[in-house]
Structure 1
């Protein structure tokens, strides 16, 4: 039996990191959401002042052929009396993953899939050469209850550049149409493993939502673990998905789209523009890291998009996105990631901006760097499609 000694608590959350050890430490994250481990550890449920605190340790189901609710083992922790007279405003079954690691496992998602405050998004998007239709694939096979996020639909329609970041109002309208709120924990995945899901993870963070995570290994890992998938989509879900893209267009036309359930707060430090990249060539305030292949970076192969020059932004470094992934599906461990960046000449103590072809795989680098504790990595949204498509921007190649 473990107990919390009585006393005055001014914090909101108390969490145990190791319930199985008699020497477990009590730590507090004042004002933070419910504490718990995304690996299936401990959840501290908290409600209002004068409450009983209980610990819930998730035991993952050994039967991976179903997506049923996981078995829970409960241990009484004792009673905590709070003298403050307030409510946390957080649902007592809500669990927020570890803020440091930006990915969660299929086991974690499986054990939390029934939580109404956990929303799952299929953000699959493919290169034109893949000849794959992400929405059709979603309709025929997706994680139970998952929504579909259209990477080419929730965009800025005023630019010819592909899938550029929309404004605050449009993003909030689209996310609200999907039924997602600021209080939700969002898990995003794609059909490759880790690819376009990282882009949507970055979009949510750019608009102020921190409780956003990528499913490590994506749908391939989910299916490999034997978890259930849905092969049909309800009319309600289809309506939400369709409305999400429609409201984006309406907001740019100045039309009314109704009240938003999601409040977007733009984080400008996470997005870089053409002008900022141009100024950085001389100022060198940040290290620009390119996620394209080394051959494209060096300009020895043609760009896949017509009219785009080969090469790279002068002074930038190259870390191909596939090098931070294992078999293109799961994120590498911290020390291996650290070596990848250091070997490429990227000083991890310096501020970093990620770039790629169209702003998608740059977000994979941002995801990898987030795992290393760098949560302030910006993405050059226009990336090489914008830079290489202009005649006046300087271009470097392998020969300098």
Structure 2
């Protein structure tokens, strides 16, 4: 396999029957920032397992919105699904590119090396009239990876974001719309202030996409270059609740950036916490 986070629909079609391939559909109930694709009847890529970010891959014991899953939660999920780190995972998205990057980053954070995103997702797969199914694969269960560990460097806490304002060592890039970033509109979540993290930079996530696909590495390099970020400077990605931030995170990797991480609490945490400073406007 190549080093890119992405695979093409042709690659996936060719390898669908590989015994060590696991196909995962990433789904989320509420789509914010783009017009959601609604399917009239069940349709999926053959042998796909469906994972829901809001239930399967969120720590439901946390008060945070879409909190990153705990180590024990991931061990339990992987045992139920029969998934191990020796397998190759391909994650696709029924919205094109929306929830899949978040699921990809979760697996990467827990040490999976052979995990990829289907560029174009299910919409492109259907456009090409490739093989489909109307039921998801039933999980059979299996042995758990006892070596499974969470890499803490892939995530940033609110304390780290706060201290970075006083002594900057990384740049926060916010994936929300410009109107939300500037504080021109009310936030969709009740009790959350409008505005953005001081010194953060805005890059709305649709800007790195061409419909269902990521833009080319060259285009993405120009986009990140236009933000005037130092090439060697670490980037931490934020959004409303840690989902669309991962779209930018993958785009940054495609653009050649290597020091990337996720502020998992994102604006749902920062905007609701009265102790955190907020900027409005430019």
- Aligned residue for 2:230? 347
SS at match of 2:63: coil
Q: 2: distance between equivalents of 1:276 and 1:138?
A: 44
Deviations 1:89-131 (A, max 9, x none): xxxxxxxx212x1111101100010101111000121426799
- Aligned residue for 2:59? 156
Q: 2: distance between equivalents of 1:264 and 1:139?
A: 37
Q: 2: distance between equivalents of 1:262 and 1:222?
A: 35
Q: 2: distance between equivalents of 1:138 and 1:179?
A: 30
Q: For the structure 1 residues 263 and 190, does the alpha-carbon distance in structure 2 shift closer, same or farther, using more than 3 Å as the test?
A: farther
CA-atom RMSD in angstroms:
2.2
2:50/2:136 contact within 8 Å kept: no
48, 68, 93: which one aligns with 1:165 = 68
Shift of 1:173: 1.7
Q: 1: distance between equivalents of 2:114 and 2:185?
A: 39
Shift of 1:341: 1.5
Shift of 1:262: 6.6
- Aligned residue for 2:81? 178
* 1:142 matches 2:26: no
* 1:306 matches 2:190: yes
2:101/2:250 contact within 8 Å kept: yes
Shift of 1:138: 11
1:297/1:318 contact within 8 Å kept: yes
1:193/1:330 contact within 8 Å kept: yes
255, 279, 290: which one aligns with 2:174 = 290
Which has the bigger relative contact order, CA under 8 A and spacing at least 6?
2
- Aligned residue for 2:248? 365
Shift of 1:348: 3.0
Deviations 1:349-384 (A, max 9, x none): 211100000000010111011112334311000000
| TM-score normalised over the length of structure 1 | 0.66
Greater Cα radius of gyration, structure 1 or 2: 1
204, 215, 236: which one aligns with 1:320 = 204
Q: Which runs of 5+ in 2 are unaligned?
A: none
| TM-score normalised over the length of structure 2 | 0.93
Aligned length: 280
2:90/2:116 contact within 8 Å kept: yes
Deviations 1:61-103 (A, max 9, x none): xxxxxxxxxxxxxxxxxxxxxxxxxxxxxxxxxxxx212x111
Q: 2: distance between equivalents of 1:201 and 1:268?
A: 16
Q: 2: distance between equivalents of 1:323 and 1:114?
A: 35
- Aligned residue for 1:210? 113
Q: 2: distance between equivalents of 1:294 and 1:217?
A: 25
SS at match of 1:120: strand
Matches within 5 A, 1:24-103: 97-99=1-3, 101-103=4-6
Q: 2: distance between equivalents of 1:261 and 1:195?
A: 28
SS at match of 2:184: coil
Q: Which runs of 5+ in 1 are unaligned?
A: 1-96, 241-257
